[in-house]
Amino acid sequence: MRALGAILVKDLRVELRTLESVPGMVLFAVTTFVIFRFGLDRTSLDGSLAAGVLLATVLFAAILAVNRIFVAERDQGGLDAIRLAPVDANALLAAKVAALVVYLVILEAIAVPIFAVFFLDEWSALAPLALVLLLADLGLAATGALVSSLATGSRARDLLVPLVLLPLIVAAAAAAEPLLAAGAPEYDEVATWLAVLGLYDVVFLLVGYGVFDFVLED
Amino acid sequence: MRGLRTLSAATVATVVAGFALVFFYAPLDADQGFIQKIFYLHVPLAIAALVGFMVAAVHAIRHLRTNDPVHDARSYVSIHISVIFGVAVLVTGSIWARASWGKWWVWDEPTLVSFLIVFLLYATYYPLRYAIEDRDRQARYASVFAITAGAFVPLNFLAVRLAESLLHPRVFATAEGGMPGSMWLTFGVSLLGIGLLWLTLVRFELVAKDTSAQLSRLRRALEGSPRPVPAGGESRPSTPQPAPDLQANRAV
Amino acid sequence: MATSTKRDNGVAEVHDAQQGREPPAIRLAGLWREFGERIALQDVSLELAHGDSLVVIGPNGSGKTTLLRVLATLLRPSGGDVAVLGARLPREAWRARGRIGYVGHEPLLYRDLTVSENLRFHATLYGIQAPERRIDELLERVGMSRRAGELTRNLSAGMAQRAAVCRAVLHEPELLLLDEPSAHLDPEASELIAPLIAAGAGRTCVTVTHDFRAGLAAGGRALALGHGGWAVYSGPAEGLSASDAEAIYRGALR
């Protein structure tokens, strides 16, 4: 646990100092909103369309962070240092997942209000968004960290992450979309989607926990 | 590999029987006509491919556990054949969609859509493998991928099925309340035939890979590179002897 | 791919126990390591007692760094029996970690953290409580107290190397693995770090060095690797003359 905390704090400290991931993600998201405005030729969105635009934008912005999450470890010898220490491999994965969740939450805290200002006529639907986005973030982070660890060791790293990550994310996106779109949700439907999203998170966290040792070993 | 001939014979027999049943025995669908019969090809192909992906995940788990490259080969080949079947699934699915709904692709059919996503995912298996140069790491990461993707397949189907509407014609539950027995029989034989075909193709490819690996081992041995034989053969590498003047100094 | 031969080295350990000897710090028997088609180490055997020092010499490409990384548990052996600090590799690697210090070609420090942040991070990884005093003391001894608050990316290679040595000895390891520790260091700095990395009671040292004269002169045991990664010589340092060592380097003795 202390290793997880130490690695997470280290990552956040580096991010704060270098501002490598989060500002880029936010800028990318806002620019993408503008592209959608012109691409769809709409100045206001609601329901499914709004949910879709927001989800797609968050997903693509997330890739920017996912691409980078293991780079520092590989390039600066952090992997060796952590593997040398009496630290469980999964602590590293958990720390990276946690870091991604933090970045995504910050991204959404800034991008969602901007999205609302750009496109939404009324803001009442926003409050329940928080839980859904959090669950989606967890799934995105769990999958992203695992995929990134595989791709960072390869030559075509920047290409592989989106290629492998996006199909994996579709299930989570499909579950999150109706939750985001629902104006006045029916409770049993919402429960199903939340369950699917939650199941997605659990499965990928477990898979990561099971296989990450093999990703690190040499 | 033993039994390959028997397996191939069984496959051919079953597939031919299946075709015969499809063309001459199964009833003609009132709505969709003859083209509906592609269902007997499309669905078994899909089932075989999906089961194949699961099998690949199991082999991948065994590879990570034992580090035996045999399991990695099996995992790789399972995915390979399943992806090829996947292309066939998408093509036959498209033909079926055209016959049923008049369009070459429909988003209404959740199975087809989830299959597309799974196919897109497994198609990245190859770029992932070939982007990693170190052979051991390549095999390990490929196994990690196969396990992750294998866990993803059922999740994906669940999610997409929930997301899509169910207003498409589903052959398993017609208005009359289920498929007639003749359809079940044809379907069963087709499924068996396609399954055997999958197994045969996997076996064939494994044999081909094994043979070419043996060939390159022999070639290397003939060229005389001092490569130690891994455990199983106790032969020592042909290391060059140290120069004589050092021998006297050895005091190990 | 097998990870160990059929020979059971446990017999040797039982024998040791019966004779009242503790198992050596390092025991290698027929270690080999391959990378795909390339064999980096073949049939390397040696024993190193606790508190002893080993110097590893050899030309480029002879597998010195690979050997060190195997000993550090960073690489799995492809074959042979390897026991480090009583832990059989690769299965029991977790038992040895935390007691090993490693100085490699990279300083293993994050460039965007300061020196003291890096050292505190490593202290936490190794479970060292209240590491401040130890960190300050180490930095003082290598002459870097004033640079403690600097980002690692702004350090020269020599400074980074000194910081790396601090990182490696921070947790007082029983086994110290050093890959050319004096690279980038001027003679003064080398002298500063020398006492930190010396072998002695409770500390075994394995040093890879290109300065084979100094290495052999320091005593202890020596391992000379030839091209292709096999052991040309393995024994006491006195048994290998400087001229033989030079010949190994030039590749005359393969």
Q: What is the mean pLDDT of residues C126-152?
A: 90
User: Distance between CA atoms of B185 and B191, rounded to whole angstroms?
Assistant: 10
Which residues of A have a CB under 8 Å from any CB of B?
146, 150-151, 153-157, 159-160, 163-164, 166-168, 170-172, 174-175, 177-178, 192-193, 196, 199-200, 203-204, 207, 210-211, 214-215, 217-218
Query: What residues in B contact A164, CB-CB < 8 Å?
Result: 121, 124, 128, 145
Q: Is residue B251 part of a domain?
A: no
Q: Is residue B41 part of a domain?
A: yes
User: Distance between CA atoms of C6 and C79, rounded to whole angstroms?
Assistant: 10
H or E element in which residue A40 lies: helix A22-40
- Are the CB atoms for C199 and C223 separated by under 8 Å? no
Q: Which of C114, C156, C105, C158 is nearest to C135 (CA)?
A: C114
User: Of B121, B133, B147, which is closest to A211 when you measure between CB atoms?
Assistant: B147
Q: Which of B128, B123, B130 is nearest to B53 (CA)?
A: B123
Q: What is the ipTM of this complex?
A: 0.86
For residue A83, is pLDDT > 50? yes
User: Of B121, B137, B158, which is closest to A153 when you measure between CB atoms?
Assistant: B137
Q: Which residues pair with C46 in a beta bridge?
A: C28
Please report all neighbours of A, defined by 3+ CB atom pairs within 8 A: B, C
Query: What residues in C contact A218, CB-CB < 8 Å?
Result: 74-76
Q: Which of B43, B57, B178 is nearest to B111 (CA)?
A: B43
Cβ of C126 and A82 within 8 Å?
no
Cβ–Cβ contact B118 with A under 8 A:
yes
Can you give the pLDDT at residue A189?
A: 67
- Are the CB atoms for C51 and C200 separated by under 8 Å? yes
Q: Is residue B116 part of a domain?
A: yes
Cβ burial of C86 (10 Å; 0-12, 13-18, 19+) is middle
A65 against B15, higher pLDDT? A65
User: Distance between CA atoms of A99 and C22, rounded to whole angstroms?
Assistant: 45
Q: What letter represents residue B122's amino acid?
A: Y
User: Distance between CA atoms of B46 and B243, rounded to whole angstroms?
Assistant: 65
Which of A104-118, A130-144, B219-233, C97-111 shows the lowest per-residue confidence on average (mean pLDDT)?
B219-233
Q: Is residue B176 part of a domain?
A: yes
How do residues C44-67 score in pLDDT, each as one tens digit? 999 998 888 899 988 888 889 999
Q: Which residues pair with A98 in a beta bridge?
A: none
Q: What is the mean pLDDT of chain A?
A: 87
Cβ of C97 and A86 within 8 Å?
yes
User: Distance between CA atoms of A162 and C78, rounded to whole angstroms?
Assistant: 34
Q: What is the mean pLDDT of residues C134-149?
A: 90
Can you give the pLDDT at residue B246?
A: 40
Q: Is residue B249 part of a domain?
A: no
Q: Is residue B210 part of a domain?
A: yes
H or E element in which residue C134 lies: helix C132-141
Q: Is residue B177 part of a domain?
A: yes
User: Of B69, B227, B246, which is closest to C253 when you measure between CB atoms?
Assistant: B246
Highest mean pLDDT among A112-126, B105-119, C172-186: C172-186
Q: Considering only alpha carbons, which residue of chain B is nearest residue A171?
A: B156
For residue B199, is pLDDT > 60? yes
Cβ of A6 and C121 within 8 Å?
yes
Q: What is the mean pLDDT of residues B42-65?
A: 93
User: Of C76, C113, C125, which is closest to A87 when you measure between CB atoms?
Assistant: C125
Q: Positive or negative CA dihedral for A5, A8, A14, A15?
A: negative
Q: How confident is the model at residue C238 (pLDDT cuts 50, 70, 90)?
A: confident
Which residues of C have a CB under 8 Å from any CB of A?
72-76, 90, 94, 97-98, 100, 102, 104, 106-113, 117, 121-122, 124-127, 167
When scoring A84, A90, A217, A218 by the number of chain C Cβ atoms within 10 A, the one with the most, hence best to mutate, is: A84
Cβ of C5 and B245 within 8 Å?
no
Q: What is the mean pLDDT of residues C194-198?
A: 84
Cβ burial of A138 (10 Å; 0-12, 13-18, 19+) is buried
Q: How confident is the model at residue A51 (pLDDT cuts 50, 70, 90)?
A: confident
Q: How confident is the model at residue B112 (pLDDT cuts 50, 70, 90)?
A: confident
Instruction: Write down the H helix ranges in chain B.
Output: 4-20, 39-66, 69-101, 110-123, 125-130, 135-163, 181-223, 244-247
> What is the percent of chain C where pLDDT is above 90?
31
Q: Considering only alpha carbons, which residue of chain A is nearest residue C96?
A: A86
> Long-range contacts of range A3-6, CB-CB < 8 Å, 24 or more positions apart?
A3/A82, A3/A85, A3/A87, A3/A88, A3/A91, A3/A92, A3/A95, A3/C124, A3/C125, A4/A91, A4/A94, A4/A95, A4/A98, A5/A95, A5/C124, A6/C121, A6/C124, A6/C125
Cβ of C74 and A18 within 8 Å?
no
Query: What residues in C contact B227, CB-CB < 8 Å?
Result: 39
Q: Considering only alpha carbons, which residue of chain B is nearest residue C240?
A: B249
How do residues B86-101 score in pLDDT, each as one tens digit? 999 999 888 888 877 7
Q: How far is residue B65 CA from its own chain's centroid?
A: 21
For residue B251, is pLDDT > 70? no
Cβ of B147 and A207 within 8 Å?
yes
To the nearest whole angstrom, how far is the Cα of C213 from the nearest Cα of chain B? Answer: 17
Q: What is the mean pLDDT of residues B113-134?
A: 88
For residue B11, is pLDDT > 80? yes
Can you give the pLDDT at residue A72?
A: 81
Cβ of C42 and B230 within 8 Å?
no
Cβ of A178 and B163 within 8 Å?
yes
Q: What letter does residue A124 receive in the DSSP assignment?
A: G
Q: Does residue C30 sit in helix, strand or coil?
A: strand
- How many residues belong to chain B? 252
To the nearest whole angstrom, how far is the Cα of C27 from the nearest Cα of chain B? Answer: 13
Q: Considering only alpha carbons, which residue of chain B is nearest residue C254?
A: B242
Cβ of A10 and C107 within 8 Å?
no
Q: How confident is the model at residue B72 (pLDDT cuts 50, 70, 90)?
A: very high
Query: What residues in C contact B228, CB-CB < 8 Å?
Result: 32, 39, 42-43, 79
Which residue's structure tokens are 């609601």? A46
Cβ of C232 and B246 within 8 Å?
yes
Q: Considering only alpha carbons, which residue of chain A is nearest residue C167?
A: A81
Q: Which of A91, A97, A109, A96 is nearest to A22 (CA)?
A: A109
| Number of structural domains found in chain B | 1
**What CATH number does the domain containing B193 carry?**
1.20.120
User: Of B121, B143, B163, which is closest to A168 when you measure between CB atoms?
Assistant: B121
- Are the CB atoms for C82 and C157 separated by under 8 Å? no
Cβ of C235 and B134 within 8 Å?
no
Q: Which residue range(s) make up the domain with B80? A: 4-233
> What is the percent of chain C where pLDDT is above 70?
90
Can you give the pLDDT at residue C9?
A: 46
> Going by C-beta distance under 8 Å and a sequence separation of 6 or more, which residues neighbour residue A89?
A83, A212, A213, A215, A216
